[in-house]
């Protein structure tokens, strides 16, 4: 069965090796075969998922218990309102004009709608332990991958001279260490594509989804046409800084703010250097400038890019990554600005973390108020009891 499946996969791989290219390869040299990376990457992704579960159980839970990090979130009492629920799916924090429209549809006051959305957001928050798990897993793997990538590429000529990414293409042999580096990275990102749906949702959830999808697509497509060298450069550049952000988050969760500030101070310049300087200068420059400069009529350049759909897609996806880099840089700079204005480092990419302070203020206001809420919304009295619109009161908080 696997043999048949692999044959079907290999039919999707374009034929890029001409007879003269094959003659240039040393005996026993390996060139990428699509089936050698597809099924193994799924197996690797499943292994990563299992490792994540073991990591949560045997490392995160004891670690969280030591720092008294809660595993559960206090559930909020609110009535399910179909109209508001429908809007919440589209926008968790609606603007004033949307709230005004919702008031007309539901017969609720503006304050009642605001309270409902606040409670609904808090009810959807991930626990601190869940956030710690996400950050801890990212820290462990990005740390390992950053050093592993440098170890694999340390003696490779294209690490210091991007022109070597194209010299001899497509007759470029792939060594075992590069194969395993690609396989581990691909399995990691494939597993993360699933886990971003189960981990706590960030404000930039869509950007994360696009980033990981683009990364997986880039790796598979680059493998299919043996553009593995430039692919390894993309990976090793990205892996050199992400673990610092994860470590800063961990420090925030365990309430070591000074450590978080120090790590973030290291992270910020490294992010700017790798994402906004090294990546465009090395990767984008290489594929948009080096490659055309190297190509000539005797090389299969037209087949690779000018007339190749895969080549054009690869170039476009690399630009998409750069756009995401710019977007995330803006978010990160906002986090840095928050540190200077409020004196506290926050992860601005997290819905729940950014809203905690505002919603805490709302709680203070709510506790001082006695709401008379109609249309299916409970009344919270000054004594803390929950009252239904019909006048019944429940001290157990039942809605």
Q: Are residues 261 and 286 in the same domain?
A: yes
Of 100 and 374, more confident = 100
224 within some domain:
yes
Specify if 155 maps to a domain. Answer: yes
Range of lowest pLDDT (143-157, 204-218, 293-307): 293-307
Is residue 223 over pLDDT 50?
yes
Contact call for residues 230 and 222 (beta carbons, < 8 A): yes
Across all residues in the chain, what is the average pLDDT? Answer: 81
DSSP secondary-structure letter at 164? G
Q: Is there a contact between 377 and 296 (Cβ–Cβ < 8 Å)?
A: no
Pair (189, 314) in one structural domain: yes
Give the whole-angstrom CA distance, residue 239 versus residue 144: 9
In a domain, residue 13? The reply is no
Show the domain range for 372.
82-124+352-387
The pLDDT tens digits of the residues spanning 298-350 come to: 555 555 555 578 888 999 999 999 999 999 999 899 888 877 776 666 554 55
The verdict on 333 and 367 lying in the same domain is: no
Does one domain contain both 303 and 235? Answer: yes
Same structural domain for residues 120 and 130? no
Strands (E), the chain: 379-380, 386-387, 393-394
Lowest mean pLDDT among 47-56, 109-118, 255-264: 109-118
Say yes or no: 274 and 360 in one domain: no
pLDDT of residue 334: 87
Based on the fold, state whether residues 306 and 179 are members of the same structural domain. yes
- What's the total number of domains in the chain? 2
Both 117 and 224 in a single domain? no
Residues 232, 150 share a domain: yes
Same structural domain for residues 131 and 45?
yes
> Is residue 261 included in any domain, yes or no?
yes
Does any domain span residue 257? yes
How many Cα atoms sit within 13 Å of 50 on the Cβ side? Answer: 6
pLDDT confidence band for 21 (50 / 70 / 90)? confident
Q: Per-residue pLDDT for 79 more than 80?
A: no
Is 167 a domain residue? Answer: yes
Report yes or no on 12 lying in a domain.
no
Cα 189 from Cα 45, distance rounded (Å): 8
Task: Give 268 or 394, the one with higher predicted confidence.
Answer: 268
**Helices and strands, counts by H and E, the chain:** 18, 3
Do 95 and 162 have their domain in common? no
Q: Are residues 224 and 338 in the same domain?
A: yes
Does 3 fall in a domain? no
């Amino acid at each position: 069965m696997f043999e048949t499946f692999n044959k079907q996969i290999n039919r999707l791989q374009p034929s890029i090796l001409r007879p003269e290219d094959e003659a240039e390869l040393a005996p026993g040299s390996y060139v990428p075969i699509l089936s050698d990376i597809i099924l193994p990457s799924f197996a690797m992704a499943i292994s990563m998922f299992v490792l994540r579960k073991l990591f949560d159980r045997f490392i995160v839970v004891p670690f969280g218990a030591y720092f008294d990090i809660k595993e559960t979130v206090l559930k909020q009492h609110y009535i399910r309102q179909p109209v508001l629920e429908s809007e919440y799916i589209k926008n968790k924090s609606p603007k004033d004009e949307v709230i005004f429209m919702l008031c007309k549809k539901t017969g609720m006051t503006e304050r009642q709608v605001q309270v409902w959305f606040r409670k609904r957001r808090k009810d959807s928050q991930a626990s601190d332990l869940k956030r710690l798990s996400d950050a801890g897993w990212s820290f462990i793997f990005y740390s390992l991958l950053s050093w592993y990538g440098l170890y694999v590429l340390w003696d490779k000529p294209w690490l210091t001279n991007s022109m070597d990414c194209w010299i001899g293409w497509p007759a470029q042999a792939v060594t075992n260490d590069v194969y395993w580096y690609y396989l581990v990275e691909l399995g990691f990102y494939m597993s993360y594509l699933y886990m971003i749906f189960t981990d706590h949702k960030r404000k930039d959830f869509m950007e994360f989804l696009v980033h990981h999808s683009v990364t997986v697509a880039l790796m598979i497509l680059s493998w299919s046409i043996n553009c593995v060298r430039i692919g390894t450069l993309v990976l090793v550049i990205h892996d050199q800084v992400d673990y610092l952000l994860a470590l800063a988050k961990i420090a925030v969760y365990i309430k070591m703010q000074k450590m978080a500030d120090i790590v973030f101070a290291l992270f910020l310049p490294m992010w700017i250097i790798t994402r906004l300087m090294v990546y465009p200068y090395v990767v984008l420059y290489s594929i948009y400038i080096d490659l055309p400069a190297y190509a000539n009529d005797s090389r299969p350049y037209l087949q690779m890019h000018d007339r190749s759909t895969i080549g054009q897609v690869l170039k476009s996806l690399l630009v998409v990554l750069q756009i995401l880099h710019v977007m995330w840089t803006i978010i990160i700079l906002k986090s840095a600005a928050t540190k200077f204005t409020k004196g506290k480092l926050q992860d601005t990419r997290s819905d729940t973390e950014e809203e905690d302070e505002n919603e805490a203020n709302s709680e203070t206001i709510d506790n001082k108020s006695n709401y008379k809420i109609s249309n299916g919304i409970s009344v919270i009295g000054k004594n803390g009891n929950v009252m239904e619109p019909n006048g019944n009161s429940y001290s157990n908080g039942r809605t």
